Chain A
């Protein structure tokens, strides 16, 4: 039986090549024309510890990591112990045998013992244990063999023919071992409808880096932090090719400060961080709003508070992103659903920062950071980019000139007659300090007035479904992808459901929420944080009264969880 949508989970010790196998299967499936969505967990420590890589490959669009695996492949006892409770009748179970554990095979589970460690040792290539496993998986589940061979070649060729050959030999041995077993389970990866689609496979973090390059990034500063570091790594590699400038800052305060300095100097500038870094940036983000200096901050959320769960998934920086600064301080907050968004919404973030001369915070999250997904090849010319309004040199220049939109032209240093001060002190339209109550009210009005039209610069939040619904689901971030699938399943059961997927979270598109709410009898808002942060804002700013459904287990929701919650609401 072909299964058009197959989920393979591979678990073992960090350093055993789990990630490599997962990556190669992902690449091969994408090459063969399947849609892929991967999910990984790894320890906060550098060496050892449990690593897990899950590949979901489908002939249909994949929106999330899925409920649970169909196929479990474990390299060691720890991975077995951590996953054995999830083995259900019907699953296929591939494991290292003889290994450091003796699994108990639950009834109904199709078991395939493969001597991974032993075979690799016999081949005098103990590091190729993962290739033995991959060979076995390719036979058992029909993972495109030719594509896998190409991927092995691509991955190892810079280390020489001998290494390529060694890995191919181990891969081949794995295939032979699996061929000798009788296949009893029904799982076979689906055959893609169109074999050659023009796609790229990227992680969320890399995609944010790419989006920034497409947007015209010129200056980047950041401080290393999990799980956002890969954005800096990607940008460090590719921004110099575009002639851009980058700096590794001594801390996040310096990073956002450098970004402001570069932006004042006329360059499109960005930093990337996670919650702890965003906390440190709060004061300077207030300055960016006050001095009307464009800047983009990508915040890849992780488990908090404090040091929290640094490698785990959470959507808990929304309060901080929206309100994290002293005084009345505005900013634009966007949130991404998937890798595709990480490219496009990063461009939008730059465009909004440039247009409105204010900070734009782009929220991603821990699972999206490392999730690799196949997305259509992005043509850079398809993304319109916006440059800040610059002074035309006519008349006397007032940096903070009062305008109807609140937007005043900027002048880069070096512009004749454009000299001005960018200041965090309250100032008059000319930029001179002014502490009168009247001026403060006028200038706050000017700065906040700019944000009134942001909603018009974004496509309306997507409404998933039509007509009236018994339950409406509002979701943000990568939870959206989970909800999409849950709603498909609920509809298949004849349940009337609708989804609402805002990506502009501040200023909140209130009318869009109201319009959606008017079509739903009840509303549930699942999010991965303890307090129900978006639900809080929705209650505060709209007449909607969503039921808050929160988890903070360090893992994303599954479609099944949403399905069950909706059904509970209808019971």
Chain B
């Protein structure tokens, strides 16, 4: 196990412009895609944090959004559909000295990868998960996703859908994430602020960025997202999960989506607890294996 370098010690080590975090690979997203806003916000946040790109690991699954790591200067993994979370969990736990960011879409995270979401949250894996939530499957050219509005007509729902959408924010609050925020991807100021705070947060940070898909989602446009987003009150209590849940549910009734930092608390992270466990058993890499083998003597 690596010496527990405080992640924060990795920050403010370099002074780089947002563009310095941009890999040379050309974006493959459609013109006008909300994901460009996510990328811009991320690059800005990285610059403000001042993390050395070589200590950053960017991990994704499959989908339009999951191409994002190609556009970021960092170590990175482009993994399987739905599996970015557990891959990132492994990388983070193995190397707590690295800054780990996961990006992925609503289908990737809450449909095929839905079984992993509770566990990253409850385990409080010290990483940042950015959901690029465009309420549609884009890479497969327009099918209903778990966050699609029921009335959305898509390739597999030509007469409108049958299912109610889920709300990623409500799930993450319930699953025990220690940092939950939401923003419209076009609001780079707020989105980058949340990503920055999420990365600085010690624990599992979940940020839902509402990102419009101009090609396959005709009802959740930049305009509708922008108009239904409502910034949280200045006095919102970020430490009370029931308040956060109430706010989201009330906003939903009103047809609005709350944006800003909904919830933030401190709890020991998984890697901290692991390090504490190792310390408790007196563990170190030179521990004499013979002591373990001796236990099997008859």
Contacts and interface: CB of A to CB of B under 8 A. Distances in A.
B283 A374 contact: no
B78 A424 contact: yes
Contacts of B78: 421-425
A263 B94 CA distance: 8
A309 interface: no
B90 A261 contact: yes
Interface in A474-506: none
Contacts of A413: 54-55, 57, 75, 91, 95, 98
Interface string A412-456: 011111111111110000001100000000000000000000000
Nearest to A27: B298
A540 B283 CA distance: 49
A199 B298 CA distance: 8
A262 B86 contact: no
Contacts of B86: 249-250, 253-255, 257-258, 261
Contact of A419 (B73, B85, B87, B119): B73
Contacts of B55: 413-414
B285 A202 contact: no
Contacts of B283: 240-244
A380 interface: yes
B109 to A, nearest CB: 14
A21 to B, nearest CB: 15
User: Counting chain B CB atoms within 10 Å of each CB, which of A245, A260, A377, A416 scores highest?
Assistant: A245
A219 B119 CA distance: 18
A420 B123 CA distance: 28
Given A201-B296, A206-B296, A261 B54 contact: no
A284 B98 contact: no
Contact of B287 (A214, A241, A259, A267): A241
B297 interface: yes
A247 interface: yes
A64 interface: no
Interface string B218-236: 0000000000000000000
B289 A214 contact: yes
Interface in B68-109: 69-70, 73-80, 83, 85-95, 97-98
B142 interface: no
A245 B292 contact: no
A267 B2 CA distance: 10
B223 to A, nearest CB: 33
A219 B93 contact: yes
A184 B14 CA distance: 86
Nearest to A255: B86
A219 B90 contact: yes
A350 B75 CA distance: 24
B277 interface: yes
B46 interface: no
B89 A247 contact: yes
Instruction: State which size class the interface on A falls in.
Output: 35 or more
Interface string A161-182: 0000000000000000000000
A418 to B, nearest CB: 7
A251 B116 CA distance: 9
User: Counting chain B CB atoms within 10 Å of each CB, which of A238, A265, A420 scores highest?
Assistant: A265
A318 interface: no
A380 B290 contact: yes
B83 to A, nearest CB: 5
A291 interface: yes
A277 interface: no
A82 interface: no
User: Counting chain A CB atoms within 10 Å of each CB, which of B69, B94, B285, B291 scores highest?
Assistant: B94
Contacts of B25: 432
B190 to A, nearest CB: 29
B296 A243 contact: no
B90 A265 contact: yes
A79 interface: no
Nearest to A268: B94
A262 B69 contact: no
A274 B191 CA distance: 44
A247 B93 contact: yes
A28 B297 CA distance: 11
A473 interface: no
B298 A31 contact: yes
A423 B68 CA distance: 13
Contacts of B75: 413-414, 418-421
A304 interface: no
A253 B78 CA distance: 16
Contact of A201 (B69, B83, B298): B298
Contacts of A419: 53-54, 73-76
Interface string A185-208: 000000000000001111000100
Contacts of B54: 413-419
Contact of B94 (A200, A266, A415, A425): A266
Interface in B254-298: 270-271, 274, 277-278, 281-285, 287, 289-293, 296-298
A381 B80 CA distance: 38
B115 interface: yes
Contacts of A245: 1, 93-94, 271, 274
A200 B90 contact: no
A241 B298 contact: no
Given A213-B289, A243-B1, A245-B1, A261 B91 contact: yes
A78 interface: no
B84 to A, nearest CB: 8
A247 B86 CA distance: 11
A287 B296 contact: no
Contacts of A201: 296-298
A261 B88 contact: yes
B115 A251 contact: yes
A264 B77 contact: yes
A240 B90 contact: no
Given A413-B55, A414-B97, A423-B77, 7 more contacts: A200-B296, A244-B278, A257-B86, A264-B77, A418-B54, A419-B73, A432-B25
Interface of A: 26-28, 30-31, 151, 199-202, 206, 210, 213-214, 218-219, 221, 238, 240-247, 249-251, 253-255, 257-267, 269, 283-284, 287, 291, 374, 377-378, 380, 413-425, 432-433
10 shortest interchain CB distances as A-B pairs: A261-B90, A258-B90, A262-B94, A257-B86, A30-B298, A261-B91, A200-B296, A254-B86, A261-B87, A413-B75
17 contacts: A26-B298, A213-B292, A241-B283, A242-B287, A244-B278, A245-B1, A255-B86, A257-B83, A257-B90, A258-B89, A261-B94, A262-B90, A264-B91, A265-B94, A266-B94, A414-B98, A418-B75
